[in-house]
Chains A and B, each alone.
Chain A
Amino acid sequence: MFDNNMGGESMREKILEMLSCNSRISHDQIAVMLNMNPQDVTREIKAMEEEKIILKYSTLINWEKTKSHTVTALIDVKVTPQRGVGFDEVAERIFRYPEVRSVALMSGSYDLSVKIEGKTMKEVALFVAEKLATVEHVQSTMTHFVLKQYKQAGVVFDDKEEDRRQVITP
């Protein structure tokens, strides 16, 4: 129960964890912090880029604080299963649209969870009605608009937690 958990994660996982927290961290710094050779870090990262484990270095942005407001909706999509057409094909027909930010296959009462971004609610609603709902084998859609994002990718957007420690303690 209190086992030591020494080296449970692989070096790759540790590198990925650091990059996912800060994609701008230098390879040298990763090397120091993980006690590795800088060349090894660079080689691993390059390999993971080639293997498409690392897909992109992006930035987490609180868009609500910018002027360019976007509207986000999560759409539950039910699919009619048909011979010869799996979920993968239906998902592909959906994810080809640039308006679609993410698609995932779900367990439970619906099949695909689709995230859409648009400039206005109307634009999103129109996209759902005209494009998404009419994709072959899509049986029904249920649209939920995101009203406020509190936390994303493990980061609390308006974190009020501050350092409450005394400035010097023994």
Chain B
Amino acid sequence: MSKFNAADYVVPKLKSLPPSGIRKFFDLVANTKGVISLGVGEPDFVTPWHIREACVHSLEKGYTMYTSNWGMPELRKGVADYLSEKYHVSYSPENQVIITVGASEAVDLALRAVVDQDDEVIIPDPCYVSYKPCAAMAGGTVVSIPTKAENDFKLTAQQLENAITAKSKVLVLCYPNNPTGAIMTKEELLQIAAVVEKHNLLVISDEIYSELTYSGQHTSFASLPGMLDRTILINGFSKSFAMTGWRVGYATGHPEIIGAMVKIHQYTILCTPVTAQMAALEALNNGMEQVYHMRDQYNQRRRLLVNRLNDMGLDCFEPKGAFYAFPSIKRTGLNSEEFCQHLLNEELVAVVPGEAFGESGKGHIRISYASSINQIEEALNRIERFVNKRYKSEVNLSAQA
């Protein structure tokens, strides 16, 4: 009789999937006491009270059952109305909207629905941590396009054109961007759309930070001419309404594609929890004022953070969306992992190394400003002390040499 070895049963493609770069750093931070963390990718606000209250009320009224696989009809209609009014994209709540367990599930469903073995999935880098693993698990081949600080971390049409091969099928976009805070304007997106059309690509556009845009209006990729059917638009409640723990998101798109996503969803998830859907409905119906209030707060913190980072000599391009700054730390002479580890040890401040989000994040750190002004200021004081010490010692070393 042969010996049971659990690891032998795990499929090879999972074994070769690299663990999340964030996870490694998380363990380090979690084991250090008294840390100020600007490494958190979610709002510091608690979900507005009226939303929490609506959820409690729904429980009292006995909303404890399954919903339609697609999500509650009222919520789908609310989502369609919201997208139509805010971003000028029109979807039928009947067959073009699916309510998912966070945008995370929507990303996975979208990739699984459209990516087949060896299809190429083009992903600008650095990017949110789940795209590449999900694309790989769906069997696709990831093609990274490095985005750069000198281009404000935007994808250019030329870069996209250069990445196209006979196997190119899907492009993943995420603006406003995690981790860089970059946004893309309508004009810039139009140039991307032209390449998408030319090469018959499908776009998965993760616009979860759409409400957190600090310069002009957010343009949804799906709203561009000819892009409505070609785009799987993903959004959710986590960031805009400070509802990360509720796990509600959604995807909209062509009925064929959304229908395919619902097929996977109905067998794997069945439906998004009704309690969370009830809360999301209240958020859409009565929560916009709070969204704008939170956006104003983030915007004030953003200006403070970017101003101080540049003052202390950490070059930081202006992030115009989400709640992250992505400064370069190259002048300290450290790589981003070293920077983060030393900063944690010496000053008890946690930020995330840029390469946790991909190769082109190297030399950068992600600083989240989803924290109170007091916390941000104290963390900045510590970072400044750290950088001065590092930078001075570098200068002294080179002077001696």
Q: Which residues of A contact B (CB under 8 A)?
A: 1-5, 8, 18, 22, 29, 32-35, 161, 163, 165-170
Residue in contact with A167 in the complex, picked from B35, B81, B289, CB distance below 8 Å: B35
Closest 4 CB pairs of A and B: A33-B300, A168-B39, A168-B26, A5-B292
Q: Is residue B378 contacting chain A, with contact meaning CB distance below 8 A? A: no
Q: How far is the CA of A166 from the CA of B300 in the complex (A)?
A: 24
Q: Is residue B42 contacting chain A, with contact meaning CB distance below 8 A? A: yes
Residue in contact with B22 in the complex, picked from A4, A35, A169, CB distance below 8 Å: A169
Q: Which residues of B contact A (CB under 8 A)?
A: 20, 22, 25-26, 29-30, 35, 37, 39-42, 44, 46, 81-82, 85-86, 128-130, 178, 217, 288-289, 292, 300-301, 303-304, 307, 350, 352, 356, 373
Q: How far is the CA of A107 from the CA of B128 in the complex (A)?
A: 55
Known: A32-B304, A168-B29. 8 other contacts (CB 8 A): A2-B288, A32-B307, A33-B300, A165-B42, A167-B26, A167-B350, A168-B26, A168-B350
Would you give 28 A-B contacts (Cβ < 8 Å), ordered by A?
A: A1-B81, A2-B82, A2-B86, A3-B288, A4-B86, A5-B288, A5-B292, A18-B300, A29-B304, A32-B304, A33-B301, A33-B303, A165-B40, A165-B42, A166-B26, A166-B40, A167-B26, A167-B30, A167-B39, A167-B40, A168-B22, A168-B26, A168-B29, A168-B37, A168-B352, A169-B40, A170-B20, A170-B130
Q: Who on chain A is nearest to B307 by CB?
A: A32
User: Known interface pairs A4-B217, A5-B289. Does A168 touch B304 (Cβ–Cβ under 8 Å)?
Assistant: no
Q: How far is the CA of A98 from the CA of B303 in the complex (A)?
A: 43
Residue in contact with A1 in the complex, picked from B20, B40, B288, B300, CB distance below 8 Å: B288
Residue in contact with B85 in the complex, picked from A2, A35, A166, CB distance below 8 Å: A2
Q: How far is the CA of A33 from the CA of B129 in the complex (A)?
A: 30
B237 to chain A, nearest CB (A): 14
- A169 contacts across to B, CB distance below 8 A: 22, 39-42
- A22 contacts across to B, CB distance below 8 A: 373
| Most chain B CB inside 10 Å of its own CB: which residue of A2, A29, A168 | A168
Q: How far is the CA of A167 from the CA of B29 in the complex (A)?
A: 7
B247 to chain A, nearest CB (A): 14
- B178 contacts across to A, CB distance below 8 A: 170
Q: How far is the CA of A2 from the CA of B86 in the complex (A)?
A: 7
B90 to chain A, nearest CB (A): 15
B48 to chain A, nearest CB (A): 13
Q: How far is the CA of A34 from the CA of B297 in the complex (A)?
A: 10
Q: Who on chain B is nearest to A4 by CB?
A: B217
Q: How far is the CA of A166 from the CA of B128 in the complex (A)?
A: 17
Q: How far is the CA of A33 from the CA of B214 in the complex (A)?
A: 12
Q: How far is the CA of A127 from the CA of B30 in the complex (A)?
A: 57
| Most chain B CB inside 10 Å of its own CB: which residue of A29, A166, A169 | A169
User: Known interface pairs A5-B288, A170-B130. Does A165 touch B303 (Cβ–Cβ under 8 Å)?
Assistant: no
Cβ contact within 8 Å between B40 and A168: yes
- B81 contacts across to A, CB distance below 8 A: 1
Q: How far is the CA of A32 from the CA of B304 in the complex (A)?
A: 6
